[in-house]
Structure 1
Amino acid sequence: MTALVILLLALGAAWALAYVGAPLWVWTAALGGLLLALAALDLIGTAAFAVAGALYVALALLLNLRPLRRAVLTAPIFAAFKKVLPEMSSTEREALEAGDTWWEAEMFRGRPDWRKLLDFKYTALTAEEQSFLDNECEALCKLCDDWKVEFEARDLPPEVWAYIREKKFLAMLIKKEYGGLGFSANAQSAVVTKLATKSITLAVTVMVPNSLGPGELLMHYGTEAQKKQWLPGLVDGSEIPCFGLTGPEVGSDATAMPDLGVVCYGEHEGKKVLGIRLNFSKRYITLAPVATVIGLAFKLRDPNGLLGDASRRDYGITCALIPARHPGVEIGRRHYPGAAFMNGTIHGRDVFIPVDWIIGGPAMAGKGWRMLVECLSAGRGISLPALATAAGQTAYRMTGVYGRFRRQFKVPIGKFEGVQEATGRIGGLAYTLEAMRVMTASAVDHCAPSVVTAIAKYHMTEMMRRIINDGMDVMAGRAIQQGPRNFMATAYKATPVAITVEGANILTRNLMIFGQGAIRCHEYVFPEMEAARDNDLVAFDKLLFGHIGFSINRAVRAFTLGVSGARLARAPVTGQIAPYFRHLERFSAALAFSADLTMGVLGGKLKFMERLSARLGDVLSQLYIASCVAKYYLEGPRGEAEWAHARWALDHALYEIAQAFDGFIRNFPVAWARAVMRLVVFPLGNRFAPVSDRVNARVADLILEPSELRERLSWLVFVSGGKDDPIGRMEHAWHVAQDCEAAYAKFFKLANQGELAGDTVAERLRDALARGLMTPQEVEQAEAYDTVRYDVIATDDFSKAYIAGDYDAERTEPTVMAAARARVA
């Protein structure tokens, strides 16, 4: 019996040491203590104790004397590791090294420090930034008629372009010392979000120069002479920038770029200078048709060693700034990518430029890919997430209006369970988007988080796609009939642009998020790879044994937390959100263990098993998304409505994590590893379900009601366009409803009970008044409500002449419809 107790105590102690991640010397001491205890209790004989002691001493010396350990154990492992270490191209290496790790590293490493999340400060808008939102952004939105931009002119009107230049909308990221606005990433995100609720074309026009482009590249890498030459024009709008990266043969894989620059001597401004002769063909370049300065990415070759390094011929991707009117440069034909923003082609044949036009000067030759990756990471965290958030905020606000006004079978459609499935999802995802927007943009203000911004770009644009599709379904014919009233059609058409640009979503999910995240965020993997490349056995030895302890700890933690239903996990707060923190910690440990086991079993093969790595990337992504939601909830007022939305988002994230793990484990190619991961990740089975109907219905109901949360979740929507603005007319109807809906509900009940005579609303209201069933004020309110109700559900129609291109045919009455002239109840 004593032996059994000792055995159980030993196992319990070992489990506890593994759970807390005890260092090797503690394990060594604990094992020695066990041997002594067994001898003291006469549970082991003298001979057995001597043999066990000798083995213990030998093992203890082997593991704890590092020179001996390196010579006997680590050296053979090191040699094998170097042989199987996958080849890494220079572009892959630069992509891995670019940017910073941030909160996603905490979630990846299996034991997140929640205090870092709770202590993180959102970037507050300055008084200047808030004023810009409230004034300049409002004024710019009022200047823009999105229907005319998209259908008639296929361009922003001259007065809009002029205002953009005058108010420095294209220079938000340029520092004040150079004359720019010097806005924070959070402020830039808010500006783009607001503009996008009015016009996708307007938002894209503003966001591109403030994302990947000459301005940002100059700010980070330009020489002082280049900054002095170009930044003043970029600030005052006399220079319009574009950046040429993609081409017919190159999309997401920039290494396939055929555009070539060869170092040679040539003539420039009448003098013989060292320069580059360029040949290139670019497409999908936003602002190209109106650009005056082109940032160009190309592969640089120096066959004669003219740059000073005779041993180097191929420099790789390089970036230069070229005036659009430079000899040999051709601004080509225009694309039309689902929205009217300027997008087109650029070509160049035998274009000679001085080497000083390389961004950063000749010293930056061949460093273009690193520059692009670092700047692209920041852009992913601002521009495209802002477009997605705009879709979420608009859909949240407008489907609420439409769902309350539109009636089918005498019931507001927002009350139908089938519709609520969509509107609840819109509400939950809109909450998630705003939480991710402010968190990610604030992160960009603190560092350059490359993995986080890839997560934001992929998942937020996918949420955008889902929200817009749901909104289209709810509003049905109201959404598909294009015209001055329609606030969704352009976003629907332009959504594939956001999905495709700055790293196509398929690539981002399948190759980048986990592929980059696993190496950058892991505490040991990238340092081990670096130690192998540097042939540093001492560093590798320390990392290897730290890694072994890390993996054991995360496996034990994941299993223990899974068995306990995450009850043993830590939560940094109390209350109803605490269990979600515990589940996130549990899945964080499970991800760390699964990633380690996967990389250990599959090695370099994992690089080519995209569906597997994508699922682990989904786990990491949802852990980050849930962290954003939890942070946003804790920063808010934490009321009942807030909790309903936060709970929807957190339940959804946990379900997506469990589904990703389940799919990953089921499809893992090694049977024994499948069994181990299933045991560790789901020791009691997968018990995570989709968002419940009850939670979803509560969010769907809240969309239909005025509330502080509704205003906060749609605070960037441009609502002050007036009754002829697509969103403004919905806003007008909403405000009328607050005063008049009760009177209309009374009328509606009387009419449907057959109490009122007449065939039209007007006739029935007169009858109600004449018979004393409604007061004059109620009749007036019911009529006002019915007028805006009809305006909400109405769609545009046009004459044949207008559709054929005669846009002056209906200028005097652009939105009066035949249906309105023949209106009946």
Structure 2
Amino acid sequence: MAYWLLFFLIAFVALAHARAGIRTTSLVLGAVTLFYGVFGESWIAFALMMIAGLLVFGPLNLPVLRQEWLSRPLFTGFRRVLSRLDERQLAALTGSGTGWEAELFNGQPDWSRFHESYSARLTPDERSLLDGPLAEFCSRYARDPETPAAHARLRAYGLHGLAVDGLHGGRDLSALAQSAALMRLSASAGSDLARRIGAPSRLAWIAALQRHGTPAQQSRWLPQLAAGANLQTIESGIAGDAVIEAGDEGPALLLTLDISLTADAEIVGCCVDLRDPEARLGPDAATGPTWLLLDAALLRDKRGPLRLPLEAVIGDREHIGEAARQGAESRAVADAIAPIAIHAGSTTALALAAGSLAKLHAPFGLSLGERSLAEEALATLAARATAAQALAALTARAVDLGEKPYAAAAFARTLGLAQARECTATARDLGLDQGLSARLVTDLDEPPSETLEPALVARTDVYSACVLRSHGAFMQALAAAQDPNPATALTRFDDALWSHVGHLFGTATQAFALGLTASSPLFGSSAPETQYLRKINRYSAALAFAADVSLSVMASELGSRKPYTALRAVREASRRSLTTWLGDALAQLYLASAALRQYDEGGAHLDERAVLELICTDAFSACEEALDRLIRHLSSPFLAWLTRRIVLPLGPSRRAPREATQRSVANQLQSDSRLRERLGERVGLPADASPWPLIDQALGLMRAGEAIEARAIAAKITRLSRHVPTRIDQTRDSGVIDEAEAQALRDWLAAVTRIQKPD
């Protein structure tokens, strides 16, 4: 009998792995049962299996019975869940995830498609712009963004128009090229100057104009924005009211705003609550939050309500009431490009400076690299800089592919902010917040909270939307629930539900199998990059299964008919945090994928394996931690136990990076290695960017004076002063070195002092 049980188990696992549908599963299991009836040992067991099979798979294979007995009650509960969501939450789910994050979330990432679609190069024209005008600007104003001429030069070089198409006076760069340009500006001239042309709010309005604006609006506003006109945006809610009234040439807007203009504002972008109390636009015309672009001069000169033509609405009357959708889409495009690119440039500049400063020391002193825990700190900076560059390229490429980059923007924001905090703390531990390198640390500080989209600060809301968008079955069920035809809606829901059941068993089988074998070299190539790819597949399947379990739990609680008590409200709030942990796990897999893609595009060089190991090890550890927290917060103990056995069959690994790997990365960051070369190439850091000339000068004097220093130390002169200038004089007076050699040590000390204490 044991052999027959094994036979049935193999058949079931094969069906689950193939994600077979109901009909295929019924035929295969029926054939296996008949095979047992012919060759098996017990007719009673055969009869019981046949009866059980008919009772279970009979109704499932009859659509009429399946829909009436099973799908309809579930569909009713699903509609009840949707009724608990407000309009804002439902509006955030208008577009399903079509990018790489959706494939990771559904447990079956197509790596061949990923490498084909997300591997892109800059065009010759884009490369010439980066290596020409942009490089010249960075060389002139490197690390001196407060120079008045720098702001004028930004306009002269046409750098404000990176995101504007060439027809309207812009540079017409792809999202990937925009990301590269902002990365270079941030690394060379500082993040403050990069934010002047790459502020997400500014890029969002440019994206809205290019995607939804009328030709007249594009011709009016885009040339001004490309020329560097100052745009003041009012994003913190509704800036005023607009009422439709009769005008000489048709309906017009009577606008009342409650805003304070800045002194340099030339264009104002705001969201107003548009109302049409007399139905002048028609009885079925949309109203509500609407985007407007206005000339700031009109607002300064006007007192009281302002009368405007209806064409002031972005996209004209067809886009009235669509501020939420336009804003979410346009801001996602901007956030997928700018913040992570600016962060990557600042992090790279800090990492390269830390590598150079780690070798530097004063005469008779210790270098930064010789301090305790310096290796771990330097390795962390190098890994975060590499990861930020990879993430910036991947999210920008998602925009170029025409995806709705909601998830990419959320990952860029949250991962970038987390990396910035970590790198800032690491740099301060190394003492890099003092001296000439302090400016580099300041660039990494988190931007003021008012510049952040509120929805992107609250990870629960934004990750909930990203998770649900990426869930294919949920989006199909949502579309079915919005179908006005009840019969068609039930059929669509039934198809989505039961086609996903096979997917659920498939992800469970894959997650369990890969959880047992993904780390073993016996089941594939032992190359590190291949093992990382298999681990991403493993955690992708685990994430897909855990998502189905947790979302089912959350839906059952949201759709419950029990009285809505305070205790239930607390439990539902706790359940909603499940989507946050799902989003955290998905973000880490997205980051690991970006690092692998960048590693492959760089030629899969052996010298870069160490930093790839750091990135992937941290990402997998964070992914496991998020899944572990999710499982611990499931309300059903049995469900939590079963999910843990499938998702983490061997328990959480959470391995820390190896010390040898950290040492290798730290050494590469301090030497003329391929890692350091690649980091510098991607940000195009000019040689004259401060503090590099002073660091290079100090390093040169240090190398020239090390032989003199070694001879002075070997002399073992008694009662030497700890004051370095006095010690140099004592060594000279003892005859160990001459005056020229003593002067070389003094020059070395002065160069180091200029870096450590520039004032």
TM normalised by structure 2 equals: 0.89
Q: Which amino acid aligns with 1:297?
A: C
Which structure would you say has the larger RCO, counting Cα contacts within 8 Å and 6 or more residues apart?
Answer: 2
Which residue of structure 2 aligns with residue 183 of structure 1?
A: 173
Identify the range of structure 1 (30-39 vs 108-117) with the bigger mean alpha-carbon deviation. 30-39
Superposition deviation, residue 662 in structure 1: 1.7
Which residue of structure 1 aligns with residue 244 of structure 2?
A: 263
Q: Does 1:410 align with 2:365?
A: yes
Which residue of structure 2 aligns with residue 497 of structure 1?
A: 448
Identity among equivalent pairs (%): 25
Which residue of structure 2 aligns with residue 173 of structure 1?
A: 163
Give deviations 1:739-766, integer Å, cap 9, x for gaps: x554422222223334579986699599
Q: Does 1:588 align with 2:549?
A: no
Distance 1:570 1:196 in 2: 44
How has the CA–CA distance of structure 1 residues 598 and 727 changed in structure 2, closer, same or farther, with 3 Å as cutoff? same
Secondary structure of residue in 1 paired with 2:691: helix
Which residue of structure 1 aligns with residue 221 of structure 2?
A: 230
Any unmatched runs of 5+ in structure 2? 559-571
Q: Does 1:113 align with 2:74?
A: no
How has the CA–CA distance of structure 1 residues 240 and 549 changed in structure 2, closer, same or farther, with 3 Å as cutoff? same
How has the CA–CA distance of structure 1 residues 318 and 140 changed in structure 2, closer, same or farther, with 3 Å as cutoff? same
How has the CA–CA distance of structure 1 residues 574 and 441 changed in structure 2, closer, same or farther, with 3 Å as cutoff? farther
Which residue of structure 2 aligns with residue 355 of structure 1?
A: 310
Structure 1 residues 736-815: aligned runs within 5 Å? 736-737=699-700, 741-754=702-715, 764=728, 785-796=748-759
Distance 1:329 1:20 in 2: 69
User: In the alignment, is the contact (CA less than 8 A) between 1:615 and 1:664 conserved in 2?
Assistant: yes
Q: Which amino acid aligns with 2:76?
A: A
User: In the alignment, is the contact (CA less than 8 A) between 1:262 and 1:278 conserved in 2?
Assistant: yes
Distance 2:364 2:269 in 1: 58
More helix by share: 2
Q: Which amino acid aligns with 2:162?
A: M
Which residue of structure 1 aligns with residue 654 of structure 2?
A: 688
Give deviations 1:566-607, integer Å, cap 9, x for gaps: 559987x76222221122111111111111111111216467
Distance 2:523 2:169 in 1: 48
Structure 1 residues 547-586: aligned runs within 5 Å? 547-565=500-518, 567=520, 575-586=527-538
User: In the alignment, is the contact (CA less than 8 A) between 2:201 and 2:233 conserved in 1?
Assistant: no
Which residue of structure 2 aligns with residue 435 of structure 1?
A: 390
Which residue of structure 2 aligns with residue 815 of structure 1?
A: none
Q: Which amino acid aligns with 1:639?
A: H
User: In the alignment, is the contact (CA less than 8 A) between 1:123 and 1:445 conserved in 2?
Assistant: no
Match for residue 264 of structure 2 among 275, 283, 290: 290
Q: Does 1:616 align with 2:582?
A: yes
User: In the alignment, is the contact (CA less than 8 A) between 2:669 and 2:675 conserved in 1?
Assistant: no
How has the CA–CA distance of structure 1 residues 320 and 539 changed in structure 2, closer, same or farther, with 3 Å as cutoff? same
Q: Does 1:520 align with 2:481?
A: no
User: In the alignment, is the contact (CA less than 8 A) between 1:733 and 1:789 conserved in 2?
Assistant: no
Q: Does 1:241 align with 2:228?
A: no
Q: Does 1:679 align with 2:635?
A: no
Q: Which amino acid aligns with 1:732?
A: D
Give deviations 1:129-156, integer Å, cap 9, x for gaps: 223222322333355475682xxxxxx6
Distance 1:406 1:718 in 2: 27
Distance 1:361 1:570 in 2: 59
Which residue of structure 1 aligns with residue 596 of structure 2?
A: 630
Distance 1:570 1:354 in 2: 68
Any unmatched runs of 5+ in structure 1? 150-155, 251-256, 331-347, 797-825
Distance 1:130 1:432 in 2: 22
Q: Does 1:79 align with 2:30?
A: no
Distance 1:641 1:391 in 2: 23
Which residue of structure 1 aligns with residue 255 of structure 2?
A: 278
Which residue of structure 1 aligns with residue 552 of structure 2?
A: 600
TM normalised by structure 1 equals: 0.82
Superposition deviation, residue 393 in structure 1: 0.5
Distance 1:101 1:289 in 2: 43
Secondary structure of residue in 1 paired with 2:289: strand
Give deviations 1:583-632, integer Å, cap 9, x for gaps: 21111111111111111112164676443321111100001011111111
Superposition deviation, residue 105 in structure 1: 0.8
How has the CA–CA distance of structure 1 residues 660 and 23 changed in structure 2, closer, same or farther, with 3 Å as cutoff? same
Q: Which amino acid aligns with 1:540?
A: F
Structure 1 residues 462-501: aligned runs within 5 Å? 462-476=418-432, 479-480=433-434, 486-488=438-440, 490-492=442-444, 494-497=445-448, 501=452
Give deviations 1:349-380, integer Å, cap 9, x for gaps: 52332211101111111112111111111111
User: In the alignment, is the contact (CA less than 8 A) between 2:379 and 2:662 conserved in 1?
Assistant: yes
How has the CA–CA distance of structure 1 residues 674 and 135 changed in structure 2, closer, same or farther, with 3 Å as cutoff? same
Q: Which amino acid aligns with 1:543?
A: A
User: In the alignment, is the contact (CA less than 8 A) between 1:265 and 1:273 conserved in 2?
Assistant: yes
What is the RMSD computed on CA atoms of the aligned residues? 3.3
Superposition deviation, residue 52 in structure 1: 5.0
Which residue of structure 1 aligns with residue 563 of structure 2?
A: none
Secondary structure of residue in 1 paired with 2:273: strand
Which residue of structure 1 aligns with residue 41 of structure 2?
A: 43
Which residue of structure 1 aligns with residue 562 of structure 2?
A: none
Superposition deviation, residue 259 in structure 1: 3.0
Q: Which amino acid aligns with 2:157?
A: K
User: In the alignment, is the contact (CA less than 8 A) between 2:355 and 2:669 conserved in 1?
Assistant: yes
Distance 2:451 2:680 in 1: 26
Q: How many residue pairs get matched?
A: 736
Distance 1:148 1:376 in 2: 26
Structure 1 residues 89-108: aligned runs within 5 Å? 89-98=86-95, 101-108=98-105
Secondary structure of residue in 2 paired with 1:651: helix
Identify the range of structure 1 (562-571 vs 184-193) with the bigger mean alpha-carbon deviation. 562-571
Which residue of structure 2 aligns with residue 382 of structure 1?
A: 337
Q: Does 1:670 align with 2:636?
A: yes
Distance 2:200 2:637 in 1: 51
Give deviations 1:216-241, integer Å, cap 9, x for gaps: 2221111112122223333334x433
Give deviations 1:482-514, integer Å, cap 9, x for gaps: xx774235425x52337961346541x22212x
How has the CA–CA distance of structure 1 residues 375 and 109 changed in structure 2, closer, same or farther, with 3 Å as cutoff? same
